[in-house]
Amino acid sequence: MSSQFPAETATPELNLEANSFAQAEGTKFRGDAKRPMYYEFKPEETIKAKHGTELRCKTWEAEAALRMLENNLDPAVSLVYDELIVYGGAGRAARNWKEYQTIVSTLKNLEADETMLVQSGKAVGVLKTWAHAPRVLIANSNIVPAWSTQEYFDELDKMGLMMYGQMTAGSWIYIATQGILQGTYETFAAMADKHFNGTLAGTITVTAGLGGMSGAQPLAVTMNDGVCLVIEPIDERVKQKVREGYVDEQADSLEHALQICQDKKAARQGWSVGLTGNAATVLPQLLELGFKADIVTDQTSAHDLMDYIPEGEIGEVLALRAGNPEEFKRQALKSIVKHCQAMLDMQAQGTVAVDYGNNLRGQAEKGGLRVRDENGQFLYPGFVPGYIRPLFCEGKGPFRWAALSGDPQDILRIDRALLETFPDNKMLARWIEKAQAKVPFIGLPARVCWLGYGEREKFGLVINDLVARGEVKAPIVIGRDHLDCGSVASPNRETEGMKDGSDAVADWPLLNALANCASGADWVSLHNGGGVGIGNSTHSGMVIVATGTPGKAERLKRVLTTDPGMGIFRHADAGYEIAENVARERGAKIPSLK
């Protein structure tokens, strides 16, 4: 494919002083300089989500989509603002600045019975539909299966024909690191129950990565009273997570980090330590020192080799990424193999090992490392089959909401209503208590909470009633991660090791998207590759806005029953008894279920 563009569309030099992450993350430094970004259309004022009750659009639904798009790009939230990259390596909110402006203009002029179509970050059409139909339909990164490779996607991306939407970047429902925090918290709580008598107090977890998603791990560990050592090659990321409160302190050396960890472990105090370094280097060093962690995991960005930072001096490594992408990828794969081998070696010494889902094991396997047993199962499990799947069988997943008013008090009012609605849920009460104490609001104030089938519908109506009675100052956006019980097919993560062998069946997220459209969601998205890379997953997203009207209450009932209901259908169909029992108890209609 040709990827030649006029000179005026070429990527300009980035202002490294203005954006310290640009050198580490910008596409200029990924060897992608020919990707058209149309910087002449970049707004002069820095993008931040509008607050308050004044509308720029013709409906609250369109206004909500616009504010969440803006929120994704807020520099406090996004990874590389200049490149419209929100998180996850190169997960974008819009294809380029020109298309961003078109999306904004279209949302502002969208009628109450019209639907905007967005193809990989570009508004491509407006349809006359219905007032109860979605205002926005989004498809990102989807390629015919036989062509769905990273290499083919990269060519389309360089030609300006496609973008990587990750999961919630391209569907405009990202809420910064908090978005994955409770799921990570739940995972470590399940590990505590299974391996450590119900608490991580007196344990040390070693992990890697401090990006938008991986930054949740140290706080999730400390919320379970454990000690966490997190390794990150980009020093500014460590400092940022300390500033945000997701990491307690930064160590100045490995010896310093280990001393802190040992002291906090002895005191049974929850604490997290960030160490600037490379996991492929540090984990083998830990083995050589005879240090034994209780848990080892990672959430480095490994799904695209251009986003995994290999061993070496960071300036030289980033220069290599810009100047010789193929050699960079070769070295990244070599480091991934070393990283993964060290995790296997730690597991052999008795450490609990778990994969946290950016395809590290899959890439190590491509690099020649044996990561599966004789039955084809991974030698150490992913977090979903290991700890989360029973929750998925109940229709539970990362339900979230954001306050369009921009007022944190709206979220705190909803927190109070949540505890009043589910007074007997002690795990939920503990989460809200810890979240209020430790989780910063970044961008629009938001909250994430794992609720199951029946619970989401019930609480969605509570939120709508709060809006109707004016107890919150503006409508509330309700959405979720694409990492949910019935919205994703990802054989190396969410659907790894399904009971019936249906790991790679992608009909389920397609049905999920169709069902949410039929039920009255306000915007629906369908993506390829989020979390684990192009060709390795299919997933869908849903958003609905609680506006306080009776009509919206009816739609909330339908959408917030339909959406988690797909998780019940999917897991009952795979033969999980928990899902079958939930279906019987809560009235989910499954034709084959007696």
Determine if residue 246 is labeled as part of a ligand binding site.
Answer: no
Would you say 95 is a known binding-site residue?
A: no
309 is in an annotated binding site: yes
Q: What DSSP assignment string belongs to 389-428?
A: HHHHHTT-EEEEEEETT--HHHHHHHHHHHHHHSTT-HHH
Q: According to the annotation, is 185 in a ligand binding site? A: no
Contacts of 581 (CB under 8 A, 6+ apart): none
368 marked among binding-site residues: no
Tell whether 51 is in a known binding site. Answer: no
Alpha carbon separation from 327 to 117, 317, 320 (Å, rounded): 38, 10, 7
Q: Are the CB atoms for 96 and 117 separated by under 8 Å?
A: no
Q: Judge whether 18 is annotated as a binding position.
A: no
Known binder of ligand: residue 308?
yes
Instruction: Identify whether the C-beta of residue 49 lies closer than 8 Å to the C-beta of residue 474.
Output: no
Alpha carbons 284 and 286: distance in angstroms, whole number: 5
Q: Is 259 annotated as a binding residue?
A: no
Tell whether residue 89 is among the known ligand binding residues.
yes
Contact criterion met (CB below 8 Å) for 533 and 303: yes
DSSP 3-state helix, strand, coil percentages of the chain (rounded to 5)?
45, 15, 40
Among 228, 261, 449, 517, the active-site one is: 449
The SS3 of residue 276 is strand
Q: According to the annotation, is 567 in a ligand binding site?
A: no
CB 441 within 8 A of CB 408: yes
449 catalytic? Reply is yes
- Rounded to whole angstroms, the Cα distance separating 523 from 543 reads 5
Residue 160, both tokens: 């300006």
Pick the closest to residue 387 from 496, 227, 509, 547 (CA basis): 496
- Determine if residue 115 is labeled as part of a ligand binding site: no
Residue 332 among known ligand-binding residues: no
301: annotated binding-site residue? yes
The Cα-based distances of 105 to 36, 54, 63, 195 in angstroms read 20, 17, 11, 53
Nearest alpha carbon to residue 586 among 484, 470, 452: 452
Query: Residue ranges for the binding site for NAD(+)?
Result: 88-89, 166, 232, 237, 278-279, 299-303, 308-309, 356, 531
Query: Residue ranges for the binding site?
Result: 88-89, 166, 232, 237, 278-279, 299-303, 308-309, 356, 531
Q: Which residues are catalytic?
A: 449
